[in-house]
Amino acid sequence: MPWLKQPKPLGTLKRVLAGYEVTATAFAKAAGFSYPTAKKRLDDPRLLTLGDLLKISQHFHIPIEELREAIKVEK
């Protein structure tokens, strides 16, 4: 049986954040986290809280609707 590539969970959200140039350094400054915490949360978007997403939306001027679309669970 051939190997099938599985989509990563919340891969769309990671692409949206990368498109708006949300880096760990900038996110750490905006949210008041240390760099390692910000990097860990951006590397695994499942760790982002609603408050983190609101800070990202406000600080990086990303429409909240776009973040909601990226979070939607694909079946």
Structure tokens at 20: 């708006």
Beta strand residue intervals within the chain, DSSP E? none
Task: Kindly give the confidence (pLDDT) of every residue in the chain, 75 residues in length, as a single tens digit, with 9 standing for 90 and above.
Answer: 788 877 777 888 999 999 999 999 999 999 999 999 999 999 998 899 999 999 999 999 999 999 999 888 655
Q: What H or E segment, with its residue span, contains residue 13?
A: helix 11-19
The pTM of this model reads: 0.79
How far is 52 from 7, CA to CA, in rounded Å?
24
* Backbone torsions φ then ψ of 20, nearest 5 degrees: -90, 10
Contact (CB, 8 A) for 47 and 40: yes
